Amino acid sequence: AAPLAAKPSAYKVADKLTPQKDVTTYNNFYEFGTDKSDPAANSGKFKPRPWTIEVGGLVAKPQTIDIETILSSFPMEERVYRMRCVEAWSMVIPWIGFPLSALLDKVEPLGNAKYVAFQTVVRPEEMPGQSGFFQPINWPYLDGLRMDEARHPLTILATGLYGETLPNQNGAPIRLVVPWKYGFKGIKSIVKITLTEKQPPCTWNILAPNEYGFYANVNPKVDHPRWSQATERRIGEGSGLFGGKRIDTLPFNGYADEVASLYSGMDLTKYY
Amino acid sequence: MAAYAPPARYREPSIWALYILGLLPGIYAFYLGLTDQLGADPVRTFEHSLGIWALRFLCLGLLITPLRDLARLNLIAYRRALGLLAFYYVLAHFTIYLTLDRGMILASIASDIFKRPYIMLGMLGLLLLIPLALTSNRWSMRKLGPRWITLHKAVYIILPAGLLHFVLSRKSFTLEPAFYTGIVILLLGYRMIRPALMRRKADKRKFVQPQQSH
């Protein structure tokens, strides 16, 4: 990871930051293995440069954009967000990135574009989790957002964290961050963004539709069928085995004031 | 052709060695936890490592019989130690769940136990292990006679319960749960074919022995 400049932003939670070491060694990124220490251990061969993202679908100006162009044409901001994993742990991460809406503006979405679909790179030769005889997921990893979610000012494409470009294990060179949703919605190492009229397929939703919904909004009242979502363990609190304690999970991960209106009138136990 | 068993004079010390060796992974993980070397989520890592060792010792305990049948290796002297090690690990796993993981918040623990199938399965395994641990001594074996064997068949419920507890606690069915599922299927599947296998073996012996005598 190289230094990456960013201007401060108003989107900054007051919680204590999760240590950089924990943010970069405790990851779910099945492309590099299913254990949380696998991504840091197995992503050394991954090459995040050169890199392009193909942006297309229902847009007036489809284009393939180089990562260097992205870094130079969009002003980078530092945003301190909470990140809540569906597995009931959480972190506080100083991301560097820019609003997804800025990129969408550039390609000029058509009137019938209702959703945004994302796709992760497939490189079995660089991503050991994508080869081998037991594959937990059908690659590529897919995810998507509704257009109003994608255009929400909190939704960013992140290119760095802790003042540096993204480490491979965190989704280099560019990933999605949607702080009010469970972490798995934050699709990593994006190569393709497609605007669609229909709700796009999402990897975890395909894998277990009764457990992982399209929306995946953090919700302490809607439990995962197999475990509670009422509390979470904040990573990096305390030292060693003692001192870390569970905290209550907040509706929309604490971003209810900003985003609850997106879902007014929707039954959140049905659209989980 | 009797199965090979380790010489009697090594039996006692090797059983003690097994206890010490068996407890080492737990002690080592605890040491790593105390010195902040268990990664970003030390409580979870410690809790899971205790659980997985319990499952491993349960599997090893159920490996004794097929080893004797198929590999002619008689390690029955070590089965009690393997079972008790599994019990100690389950107990430690449950203690960490109550204290460091759930922080002794009893209301949330109770709702967890009665609402979550995977936790109920874990509890079932723990509760069934208690009578087995309590009757693992020679006195109980003598006292219970044939009923001791029936009682200890509870392990055929405990092992699948423990396995399911592990599998259902994971976000998805990955290589590690698949590996243990395979092992458990082999161990339990062997029990299903064992009666037929033993019958065939006995028949063969009856048939073969008279031929060998002339």
Which CATH number fits the domain that encloses residue A72? 3.90.420.10
Q: What gap in Å lies between CA A93 and CA A107, rounded to an integer?
A: 29
- Contact (Cβ atoms closer than 8 angstroms) between residue B59 and residue B163: no
- Once rounded to an integer, what is the mean pLDDT over residues B46-72? 96
* Mutant choice from B27, B31, B41, B118 vs A, greatest count of A C-beta within 10 A: B41
Q: What gap in Å lies between CA B120 and CA B19, rounded to an integer?
A: 29
Bridge partners for B179 per DSSP: none
Q: What is the mean pLDDT of chain B?
A: 92
Q: What gap in Å lies between CA A246 and CA A240, rounded to an integer?
A: 15
Q: What gap in Å lies between CA A201 and CA A117, rounded to an integer?
A: 8
Q: Is there a domain that residue A100 lies in?
A: yes
A 132-161 residues with CB < 8 A to B: 134, 136-137
Q: Find where tokens 């460091």 sit.
A: B100
**B43, B118, B174 member nearest A241 (Cβ):** B43
**A chain contacts of residue B173, beta-carbon cutoff 8 Å:** 136
- Once rounded to an integer, what is the mean pLDDT over residues B105-123? 87
- Contact (Cβ atoms closer than 8 angstroms) between residue A221 and residue A212: no
Q: Is there a domain that residue A171 lies in?
A: yes
- Once rounded to an integer, what is the mean pLDDT over residues B44-59? 97
Tell me the three state secondary structure of residue B46: helix
User: Cβ B115–A228 below 8 Å, yes or no?
Assistant: yes
Number of domain units in chain A: 1
Domain carrying residue A103: 7-263
- Contact (Cβ atoms closer than 8 angstroms) between residue B28 and residue A233: no
Q: Is A222 on the interface with B (CB under 8 A)?
A: no
**pLDDT tier at B112 (50, 70, 90 boundaries)?**
confident
Residues of chain A with pLDDT below 50 are none
| Chain B residues in contact with chain A using a Cβ-Cβ cutoff of 8 Å | 30, 33-44, 46, 100, 102-103, 105, 108, 111-112, 115-118, 168-169, 171-176, 178
Q: What gap in Å lies between CA B60 and CA B9, rounded to an integer?
A: 23
- Contact (Cβ atoms closer than 8 angstroms) between residue A187 and residue A141: yes
User: Cβ B41–A233 below 8 Å, yes or no?
Assistant: yes
**A chain contacts of residue B168, beta-carbon cutoff 8 Å:** 226
Q: Which of A103, A110, A178, A111 is nearest to A143 (CA)?
A: A178
Q: Is A210 on the interface with B (CB under 8 A)?
A: no
pLDDT surpasses 70 at B213? no
**pLDDT tier at B118 (50, 70, 90 boundaries)?**
very high
User: Cβ A241–B40 below 8 Å, yes or no?
Assistant: no
For A40, which residue in chain B has the nearest alpha carbon?
Answer: B39
φ/ψ of A59, rounded to 5, equals -135, 155
Q: Is there a domain that residue A211 lies in?
A: yes
Work out the minimum CA distance from B201 to partner chain A, whole angstroms: 37
The H or E element spanning position B3 is: none
Tell me the three state secondary structure of residue B4: strand
Work out the minimum CA distance from B27 to partner chain A, whole angstroms: 13
pLDDT on residue B171: 83
Strands A89-99 and A231-234 turn out to be parallel
Four-CA torsion A8, A14, A19, A22, nearest 10 degrees: -100
pLDDT on residue B202: 86
**A25, A226, A241 member nearest B46 (Cβ):** A241
pLDDT on residue B1: 55
Q: What gap in Å lies between CA B159 and CA B165, rounded to an integer?
A: 10
Write the ipTM: 0.79
**pLDDT tier at B64 (50, 70, 90 boundaries)?**
very high
pLDDT on residue A241: 86
User: Cβ B176–A235 below 8 Å, yes or no?
Assistant: no
- Contact (Cβ atoms closer than 8 angstroms) between residue A262 and residue A149: yes
DSSP chain A: --B---EEEEEE--SPPPPHHHHHHS---GGG-SSTTHHHHH-TT----S-EEEEEESBSS-EEEEHHHHHHHS--EEEEEEEE-TTSEEEEEEEEEEEHHHHHHHH-B-TT--EEEEEE---TTT-GGGSSS--SSPSSPEEEEEHHHHTSTT-EEEEEETTEEPPGGGTTT-EEE-TTB-GGGS--SEEEEEEESSPPP-HHHHH-TTTS-SS-B--TTS-BTTB--SEEEETT-SBTTBS--EEEPPGGGGTHHHHGGGGTT--TTT--
Work out the minimum CA distance from A23 to partner chain B, whole angstroms: 8
Q: Is there a domain that residue A270 lies in?
A: no
pLDDT on residue B121: 96
Q: Amino acid identity of B144? A: L
| Residue B211 vs residue B16, higher pLDDT | B16
Look up residue B77 and give its DSSP letter: G
Q: What is the 3-state secondary structure (H, E, C) of A42-74?
A: HCCCCCCCCCEEEEEECECCCEEEEHHHHHHHC
Q: What gap in Å lies between CA A128 and CA B196, rounded to an integer?
A: 44
* Mutant choice from A211, A223, A241, A242 vs B, greatest count of B C-beta within 10 A: A241
Q: What is the 3-state secondary structure (H, E, C) of A26-44?
A: CCCCHHHCCCCCHHHHHCC
User: Cβ B111–A89 below 8 Å, yes or no?
Assistant: no
- Contact (Cβ atoms closer than 8 angstroms) between residue B64 and residue B82: yes
DSSP B124-181: HHHHHHHHHHHT-SHHHHHHHTHHHHHHHTTHHHHHHHHHHHHHHHSSS--HHHHHHH
Work out the minimum CA distance from B185 to partner chain A, whole angstroms: 18
Q: Is A25 on the interface with B (CB under 8 A)?
A: yes
- Contact (Cβ atoms closer than 8 angstroms) between residue A181 and residue A118: no
pLDDT on residue B210: 55
Bridge partners for A97 per DSSP: A77, A158
User: Cβ B41–A231 below 8 Å, yes or no?
Assistant: no
Q: What gap in Å lies between CA A27 and CA A183, rounded to an integer?
A: 10
- Tokens representing residue B212 in the block: 């060998």
- Contact (Cβ atoms closer than 8 angstroms) between residue A89 and residue B41: yes
Q: What gap in Å lies between CA A3 and CA A156, rounded to an integer?
A: 19
Q: Amino acid identity of A52? A: T
Q: How many interface pairs between A and B have CB atoms less than 8 angstroms apart?
A: 76
pLDDT surpasses 90 at B39? no
